[in-house]
Amino acid sequence: MLGFSAAMSLGVNQLKKKDYILIDDQPVIILETKHLKMQQRRPTVMTRYRNLLNGKVYENNFAQSDTFEEADVSKDEVKFLYVHRSQYWFSEPNNPSNRFELDAGTVGEQATFLKENTVVEALHWNGTVINISLPIKMEFTVVQAPPGLKGDTQSGGTKQVTLDTGAIINVPLFINEGERIIVNTETGEYSERAK
């Protein structure tokens, strides 16, 4: 793409989930915003966001007057190939010879949900792949689960299980080893049994 476009400025009240903005000259994705009204103080907006360069999630309160520059982030599909020595290897979906790598620090917590041959979105900023974005809901197999006790289906409690990627999450007590489940990769929470 030739030429430059003026970056758009967003007020803190305009921020919404999945917006890409710059904070401290680094691209971030907004995960959550919440308006806070504190007695005898100016209203603020609590924001959770993930830094796309280091994968870390931050929480910060911003004043109503704060503005942010939109980050010029573009996306395309790539396939996750494998991980070797904390390096995550990806390729174009139909061209496995065109590969690139991201380190574990960049991929961040979402690495626990990466499955080989899964198509994900690569995020580009300043002409470089800086991170990936997983589908929000993905299917996994429970490979290790403590046995449920009789009557567990009614109690509404949770237990920890291990998924086929090695991720450990909380699930309802009625989920057993070998079952396929859907997990929200943004929150790391159990969503439902796979159909």
- How many separate domains does the chain show? 3
Q: Which residue has the higher pLDDT, 107 or 40?
A: 107
In this prediction, residue 106 carries a pLDDT of 83
Q: Which tokens hold the place of 92?
A: 């174009």
> pLDDT tens, 142-189?
999 998 665 555 556 899 999 999 999 999 999 999 999 999 998 899
As a whole number of angstroms, the distance between CA 191 and CA 139 comes to 10
As a whole number of angstroms, the distance between CA 163 and CA 139 comes to 10
* Assigned domain for 92 exists: yes
Same domain, 128 and 77: yes
Q: 158's torsion region: left (phi>0), alpha (psi -120 to 50) or beta?
A: beta
User: What is the residue-wise DSSP string for 75-109?
Assistant: EEEEEEEEEETTEEEEEETTEEEEEEEEEHHHHGG
Q: What are phi and psi of 55, to 5 degrees?
A: 80, -5
Same domain, 154 and 171: yes
CATH code of the domain covering residue 96: 2.40.50.140
Q: Which residue has the higher pLDDT, 47 or 157?
A: 47
Q: Which tokens hold the place of 5?
A: 């476009």
CATH code of the domain covering residue 60: 2.30.30.30
* Residue carrying structure tokens 């991929």: 107
Residues 74-98 have a mean pLDDT of: 93
As a whole number of angstroms, the distance between CA 60 and CA 30 comes to 11
State which residues form the domain around 13.
Answer: 9-69
Same domain, 92 and 144: no
* Assigned domain for 4 exists: no
Pick from 123, 131, 121, 189: which is nearest to 161 by CA? 189
Report the chain's mean pLDDT, rounded to a whole number.
87
Same domain, 102 and 153: no
Pick from 3-17, 41-55, 173-187: least confident: 3-17
pLDDT at 6 over 70: no
Q: Are 81 and 118 in contact (CB under 8 A)?
A: no
pLDDT at 139 over 70: yes
Percent of residues in the chain assigned helix, strand, coil, to nearest 5: 10, 55, 35
Amino acid in position 10: L
The band of 1, judged by pLDDT with boundaries at 50, 70 and 90, is very low
* Assigned domain for 99 exists: yes
The band of 82, judged by pLDDT with boundaries at 50, 70 and 90, is very high
* Assigned domain for 2 exists: no
